[in-house]
């Protein structure tokens, strides 16, 4: 097992390797009192969510994609005793436990578990009663909060070119998720020798999340300035990528409405073929796009506000005619409903071949009419977390176009 490289120079090139997280016990630790803070709208039925997720993995595998699991990669990364101690200290210190006695208790409890079970437990959350404290019904029950958003592997780290952004998440509830990525790329036997460059680090002040990061071609990136991603973070990331001499020469900043329904750019805009994109009509009217390029000589970023329609801007940068396919056909009710259930959040596994949620049947029929191959999956439970097939997958390797 040695030397895995990251290689992502498009959104649509044949997908070869992807990271998923199979929903775990963290989902069973959701209750109505904490839904909003934990960024869920309802409580998925874990058994069915897992069946849906296993079916997602099967669709990918049947189409030649190697599926790696975040939980397994993490366990393999922290197997050695010293790394495990570092990892434990970091996840515990970031979950807000202050009392020394509680820190020791939880550490002891986690340390006693086999490594994979320890990782699963950290993801699921630790109740006070599990480490020997009495739990009062009216008191907050967790010493370590569950991380129910982990099955959206797209967000905590994201591949761009040969590197990743290890993200600084907007919400406290998602911040610890990025520790898994940190340990995988630093210590996993298959990655540690590859010196994967970090275009952004989790410790940085400004926020950025993977759902906002799109690789439109080996020259053009699109990044959402959204509810979750700051402009300052995009500029830092852009500078790091340009300075590293990657093939990318332009970052298009999409300024989208800062609302929960459109939390990341990929909830309203995804690429499905060389010349086709899905878009939610709700962003088109107010969309502002700024192109960021790099002045090599002065080592400075240059910013230019783009004018004209989204089709025109994309055509200019991708050097071809572009077709935008409106989620729900642009009908106010249908687009609103299907976007909420991630109708615009397609995962391309090859040019013109996408995985989508079956429930967004109007958008799926429209995609079909545009000759897009649609592999649809059941999603009654998974969709309750407000993310679709793109959100649930983190590509590590795509073939070049
Ligand atoms: N890329 C994405 O849009 N990811 C979906 C994340 C959903 C999750 N409940 C969140 O609010 O962060």
DSSP string, 302-368: EEEE--S-HHHHHHHHHTS--EEEEGGGG-HHHHHHHHHTTTT--EEEETTEEEEETT-HHHHHHHH
Is 152 near ligand 1, meaning CB less than 6 Å away?
yes
Directed axis angle between helix 177-187 and helix 81-93, to 10°? 160
Q: Which atom of ligand 1 is nearest to the CA of 387?
A: 5
Tokens of 3: 């030397």
Q: Does the complex come out with an ipTM higher than 0.85?
A: yes
pLDDT in tens, 354-375: 999 999 999 999 999 999 999 9
pLDDT in tens, 127-157: 999 999 998 998 999 999 999 999 999 999 9
Residue 95 a catalytic site member: no
Q: Which residues lie below 8 Å from residue 60, measured CB to CB, with a gap of 6+?
A: 15, 18, 67, 349, 355, 393
- 260 C-alpha to ligand 1 centroid (Å): 9
Residue 2 lies in a domain: no
Which phi and psi (to 5°) does residue 271 adopt? -95, 135
Please name the residue that has the structure tokens 């992502």: 8
> What is the rounded radius of gyration, in angstroms, for the C-alpha atoms of the chain?
21
- Cβ atoms within 10 Å, residue 292: 22
What burial class does residue 218 get, using C-beta atoms within 10 Å of its C-beta: 0-12 exposed, 13-18 middle, 19+ buried?
A: middle
Is 267 near ligand 1, meaning CB less than 6 Å away?
yes
**Residue nearest (by alpha carbon) to ligand 1 atom 11:** 39
Is 393 near ligand 1, meaning CB less than 6 Å away?
no
Q: What angle do CA 253, 207, 126 make, to 5 degrees?
A: 140
| pTM exceeding 0.90 | yes
Q: Is-contact 148 29, C-beta < 8 A? A: yes
pLDDT of 1 reads 46
Q: In what order do the strands lie in the sheet with 269-273?
A: 269-273, 276-279, 323-326
Is 326 near ligand 1, meaning CB less than 6 Å away?
no
Give the domain extent around 348. 150-168+193-398
CATH number of the domain bearing residue 366: 3.75.10.10
Q: What angle do CA 52, 150, 327 make, to 5 degrees?
A: 60
- 285 C-alpha to ligand 1 centroid (Å): 23
Residue 77 lies in a domain: no
Residue 93 lies in a domain: no
Is 154 near ligand 1, meaning CB less than 6 Å away?
yes
- Cβ atoms within 10 Å, residue 171: 15
Q: Per the structure, how many domains does the chain have? A: 1
Rounded distance between C-alpha atoms, residue 163 and residue 148, angstroms = 26
- 2 C-alpha to ligand 1 centroid (Å): 32
Is 39 near ligand 1, meaning CB less than 6 Å away?
yes
- 391 C-alpha to ligand 1 centroid (Å): 7
Count how many residues are written for the chain.
401
Mutate to test the pocket of ligand 1, among 41, 210, 385 (most ligand atoms within 8 A of CB): 385
Reading the chain (401 residues) residue by residue, the pLDDT tens digits are 458 999 999 999 999 999 999 999 999 999 999 999 999 999 999 999 999 999 999 999 999 999 999 999 999 999 999 999 999 999 999 998 989 999 999 999 999 999 999 999 999 999 999 999 998 998 999 999 999 999 999 999 999 999 999 999 999 999 999 999 999 999 999 999 899 999 999 999 999 999 999 999 999 999 999 999 999 999 999 999 999 999 999 999 999 999 988 999 999 999 999 999 999 998 988 899 999 999 999 999 999 999 999 999 999 999 999 999 999 998 999 999 999 999 999 999 999 999 999 999 999 999 999 999 999 999 999 999 999 999 999 999 999 99
């Amino acid at each position: 097992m040695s030397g895995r490289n990251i290689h992502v120079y498009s959104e649509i090139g044949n997908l070869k390797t992807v990271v998923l997280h199979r929903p775990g016990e963290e989902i069973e630790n959701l209750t109505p009192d904490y839904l909003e803070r934990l960024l869920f709208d309802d409580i998925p039925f874990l058994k069915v969510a897992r069946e849906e997720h296993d079916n997602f993995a099967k669709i990918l595998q049947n189409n030649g994609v190697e599926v790696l699991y975040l939980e397994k990669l993490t366990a393999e990364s922290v197997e050695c005793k010293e790394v495990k101690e570092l990892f434990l200290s970091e996840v515990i210190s970031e979950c807000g436990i202050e009392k020394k006695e509680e820190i020791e208790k939880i550490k002891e409890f986690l340390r006693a578990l086999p490594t994979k079970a320890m990782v699963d437990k950290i993801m699921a959350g630790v109740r006070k009663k599990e480490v020997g404290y009495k739990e009062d019904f009216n008191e907050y029950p967790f010493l370590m909060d569950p991380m129910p958003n982990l099955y959206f592997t797209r967000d905590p780290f994201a591949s761009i070119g040969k590197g990743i952004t290890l993200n600084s998440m907007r919400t406290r509830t998602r911040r610890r998720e990025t520790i898994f990525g940190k340990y995988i790329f630093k210590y996993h036997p298959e990655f540690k020798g590859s010196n994967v460059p970090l275009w952004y680090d989790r410790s940085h002040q400004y926020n950025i999340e993977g759902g906002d990061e799109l690789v439109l071609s080996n020259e053009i990136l699109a990044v959402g300035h959204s509810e979750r991603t700051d402009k300052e973070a995009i500029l830092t990331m852009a500078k790091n990528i340009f300075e590293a001499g990657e093939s990318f020469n332009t970052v298009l900043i999409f300024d989208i409405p800062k609302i929960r329904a459109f939390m990341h750019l990929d909830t309203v805009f995804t690429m499905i073929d060389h010349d086709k994109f899905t878009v939610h009509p709700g962003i088109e009217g107010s969309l502002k796009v700024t192109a960021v390029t790099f002045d090599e000589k002065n080592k400075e970023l240059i910013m230019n506000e783009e004018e004209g329609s989204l089709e025109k801007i994309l055509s200019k940068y991708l050097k071809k005619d572009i077709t935008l396919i409106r989620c729900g056909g642009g009908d106010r009710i249908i687009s609103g409903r299907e976007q909420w259930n991630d109708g615009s959040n397609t995962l391309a596994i090859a040019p013109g071949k996408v995985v989508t949620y079956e429930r967004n049947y109007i958008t799926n029929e429209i995609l079909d009419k545009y000759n897009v191959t649609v592999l649809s999956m059941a999603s009654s439970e998974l969709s309750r977390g407000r993310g679709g097939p793109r959100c649930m997958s983190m590509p590590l390797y795509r073939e070049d176009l």
